[in-house]
Amino acid sequence: MAEEVKNLLNEYREGRISRRDFIQKAAILTGSLAMANSLLEPLFAPAAYAAQVDPSDPALSSSAVQFAGPASAISGYLTKPKAGGKHPAIVVIHENRGINDHTRDVARRLAKEGYVALAPDYLSRGGGTEKVNPKGEGLSNIRQLAPVKAVMEDTDAALAYLRSLPDVRGDRIGVVGFCWGGEMTFNVATYSRGLRAVVVYYGRSPNPVDLVEKIEAPVLAHYGGEDKGVNGGIAATEAAMKKYNKGYNYKIYPGAQHGFNNDTGGSRYHPEAAKEAWGRTLEYFKKQLQG
C-alpha cells in the first residue's frame, strides 16, 4: 500500500490528478478520509517536515484509527511494532495545534522502541483537527475547545481502547504530552487509574496543585530554562508531590524555551535539550513499562 500511496502523491504533485481524485483514491487505499487528507499536509506546509521515523517504516504498522468516546467517536493515530507478542503502550497527547505530522512522528519514535503508541485527536468532539484548525496554527482557545474534563474522559477512552487490543500489555501503559498536552498529561495523571508512567514536557501543573494526591505513577518532567510562565509553578508542585509522597523527577534545561522538543518549532527547537530529554524519557519508560 505504501508504494501505491507514494505513486498517488507523485501523480498529484505532477498535476495528473485533481485534489478530489487524490482524496477519493487515497481514502480507499488508507481506509480513512482523515488519513487521506493528512497525506497532503506536507505539500502545503511552509517547509516539508522531515520525519525522524518514516511513516512507511517496514518495521511498524501505522494507521489512522477511530474508537468510541464518551461524547463522540475519537479519531487518532496508532503505530506499533510489527513484531509479534504483547507490548507496553503509551498515549501521546498533542500540542495546542491538534494532531499533526509531528505528533504522529513522535508516536512512531516510541513504536520503534517497542511500544504501541496511540495519539488521539483531542479536537474530535468538535469535528477533528482538520476541521477545527485547518491551518495548523497554535490555538489560543484550546482549553475551551478541549476542556480538562473532556480530555481526561477521552484519555480514559483511549486507555480502554488500548487495553482492548490483543497486542497490548494492559498493565503497562503510560502517557506523555507536550506543551498544552503536557499540562493535560499532568491532569490525566490525577484522574486515570492504572497508569504506570507519566512524562510531562513543559506542562503546567494541576490546579489546585493538591490534586496531585490522586496520582498513581511517578512523574518525569522536562522544563525549558527560559519558560518562565510554566516554571513559576515548579516549586509548589515539588512541595505538593513531596507532601503526598509522589515521585517527581524533573530537570530544567538551561537556555531552552517552551516547546524545545518540537523539531518543527523553528527557533524554539533546542536540539541538545531535546536529545537529552528524549533519552531520559526512554530510560524512564523502559524502567516503568518494560520491567
Tens place of pLDDT for every residue, the chain, 291 residues?
577 876 676 555 544 566 677 788 888 877 777 777 777 655 444 444 578 999 999 999 999 999 999 999 999 999 999 998 999 999 999 999 999 999 999 999 999 999 999 999 999 999 999 999 999 999 999 999 999 999 999 999 999 999 999 999 999 999 999 999 999 999 999 999 999 999 999 999 999 999 999 999 999 999 999 999 999 999 999 999 999 999 999 999 999 999 999 999 788 999 999 999 999 999 999 999 997
CA 131/CA 75 separation, integer angstroms:
12
> What does CATH list as the number for 57-289?
3.40.50.1820
Contact 220, 199 (CB under 8 A): yes
What pLDDT is attached to residue 18? 63
Contact 265, 47 (CB under 8 A): no
Burial of 200 by CB count in 10 Å (0-12 exposed, 13-18 middle, 19+ buried)?
buried
> Within a 13 Å sphere around the CA of 148, how many CA atoms are in the beta-carbon half?
16
- Measured between alpha carbons, how far is residue 30 from residues 5, 22, 64 in Å? 8, 12, 8
The rounded Cα 272 to chain-centroid distance in angstroms is 21
What pLDDT is attached to residue 44? 47
CA 19/CA 17 separation, integer angstroms:
7
For the chain, the domains span 1-44, 57-289
What pLDDT is attached to residue 45? 44
What pLDDT is attached to residue 14? 43
Place of cell 523502559: 286
What pLDDT is attached to residue 10? 54
CA 271/CA 248 separation, integer angstroms:
24
